A and B are shown apart, each in its own frame.
Chain A
Amino acid sequence: MTQTPQNPAPNPAAGNGSDRRGWPLWEVFVRARRGLAHQHVGSLHAPDAALALQNARDIYTRRSEGVSIWVVPSSAIVASSPQEKDSFFDPALDKAYRHPTFYDIPEGVEHL
């Protein structure tokens, strides 16, 4: 579940596309089965949420690939910028002590 949202282009507000040429864009997330998180699978165009869900079912779950679907207007997704990836994720880089492998444990200690 590390994929970025698909849509890179500036996107007009979804949901009120009446004066737009096409239908607004929605991102689709599918839970493959109980116990798993929803995963991004792609996008689609639909005039409203109900049809977005129905289209998502027809496009992305023709072979029972899911037990639950989320659709989200693409314009509602806020994403970190790949350009600032170093500075943005910097704080995590120098904190090796957050990982269990950082610690020296005497030989023979179990269940730790």
Chain B
Amino acid sequence: MYGNHDTETALVPDEGDSERQAEFDALIADDQRIEPRDWMPDAYRRTLIRQVAQHAHSEIIGMQPEGNWITRAPSLRRKAILIAKVQDEGGHGLYLYSACETLGVDREDLLDRLHGGRQKYSSIFNYPALTWADVGAIGWLVDGAAIMNQVALCRCSYGPYARAMIRICKEESFHQRQGFEILHTLAHGTPAQKEMAQDAVNRFWAPALMMFGPPDDASPHSAQSMAWGIKRFSNDELRQRFVDMSVPQAEVLGLSLPDPDLRWNDERGHYDSGELDWDEFARVISGDGPCNAQRMSRRIRAHEDGAWVREAAQAYAAKQAARTLEVAAS
């Protein structure tokens, strides 16, 4: 999902290997899973590496906007929940890096590519979390949109990615609920609290809808990803489902969704919604969002500040291993 916004050049079909290709095609046609040691077309491998890596990067960068509120959570209960949620996102990143490595890439390389700006993460995390209500809006809308995408990915044709998604989906539903609860509490509090909740929803609604990626007619690689069973539903299909699901939830919250064109369409059996600002999406993805620079510099600093811990642990492991050898030799 987070990898929907493709920036690389179109994929070229593989030459040769026609027998293995036929076997691969048969597995895909039979809705079977591809496993790490199976032969797979280079383009399939490259597409997955890019998508799973972007997804992993999104999970760990996504720790920042909310992590920013841990020290300012309004109660001990909220604080404990937020710590657990942010820790889960770190865990999601680790499941996904682990899945990505089964495709033959090295974790250090993936981090290098993120830090060097050669791989991207979801545009949504370049928006700031300005108020406590934003933590609620992120849980309800951002995790909600992520779940919609990730549930679809549980049936992805690549086994390790699909299995990581199943784990992640099990953990996500609490994320969305805690966000909904925060907003519900604020929306039923003082007028100022309700206003804060409405303001957060106003700012996060459109960016959350853009998490599903560009409209289908502007999403060039979608068809190939669908043919490979990496994607099971189109960007617009998932976005529509999310809109349909969110409208009644907003009513329960007593908050409005910031789209004057949002209305039920009896004929289609779905809600219609207004155009999204895809120029903004392109700008934010390509580095010009409100927080891109801050997210990257904090990420790189955290990595560099942690270097001594990694080195110390490695030195300790080496020393213990040498001791074990000595004892064995004596």
A interface, size bucket: 20 to 34
Q: Is the CB of B87 within 8 A of A62?
A: yes
A47: chain B residues at CB < 8 Å are 310, 313-314, 316-317
Which residue of B94, B99, B313, B314 has the most chain A CB atoms within 10 A of its CB atom? B314
Taken residue by residue from 92 to 110, chain B's Cβ proximity to chain A (1 for < 8 Å, 0 otherwise) reads as 0011001101111111100
- Contacting B at CB under 8 A, from A1-34, are 3-9, 15-18, 21-23, 25
Interface presence of B320 (CB below 8 A): yes
Minimum CB–CB distance for B295 against chain A, Å: 23
- Contacting B at CB under 8 A, from A39-72, are 41-45, 47-48, 51, 58-59, 62-63
A3 to B99 Cα, complex, angstroms: 13
B258: chain A residues at CB < 8 Å are none
Minimum CB–CB distance for A60 against chain B, Å: 8
Total contacts A to B, CB within 8 angstroms?
87
Q: Is the CB of B37 within 8 A of A15?
A: no
Q: Is the CB of A63 within 8 A of B107?
A: no
- Contacting A at CB under 8 A, from B66-110, are 84, 87-88, 91, 94-95, 98-99, 101-108
Contact of A82 among B37, B107, B313 (CB under 8 A): B37
Q: Is the CB of A4 within 8 A of B35?
A: yes
Contact of B37 among A58, A59, A81 (CB under 8 A): A81
Question: Given A6-B160, A17-B314, does the pair A48, B104 have CB atoms closer than 8 Å?
Answer: no
A9 to B101 Cα, complex, angstroms: 8
Interface presence of A87 (CB below 8 A): no
Question: Given A8-B102, A62-B88, does the pair A23, B310 have CB atoms closer than 8 Å?
Answer: yes
Q: Is the CB of B37 within 8 A of A79?
A: yes
Interface presence of B215 (CB below 8 A): no
Interface presence of A83 (CB below 8 A): yes
Q: Is the CB of B36 within 8 A of A4?
A: yes
Q: Is the CB of B91 within 8 A of A42?
A: no
B167: chain A residues at CB < 8 Å are 41-42
A7: chain B residues at CB < 8 Å are 36, 101-102
A44 to B103 Cα, complex, angstroms: 15
Q: Is the CB of B36 within 8 A of A22?
A: no
Nearest 4 A-B pairs (CB), nearest first?
A48-B317, A47-B317, A8-B36, A18-B318
Which positions in A face B, CB cutoff 8 Å?
A: 3-9, 15-18, 21-23, 25, 41-45, 47-48, 51, 58-59, 62-63, 79, 81-83
A-B contact pairs, 13 of them (CB 8 A): A6-B101, A6-B160, A7-B102, A42-B95, A42-B98, A42-B164, A43-B98, A47-B314, A48-B320, A59-B94, A62-B84, A62-B88, A82-B38
Which positions in B face A, CB cutoff 8 Å?
A: 35-39, 84, 87-88, 91, 94-95, 98-99, 101-108, 159-160, 163-164, 167, 171, 310, 313-318, 320-321
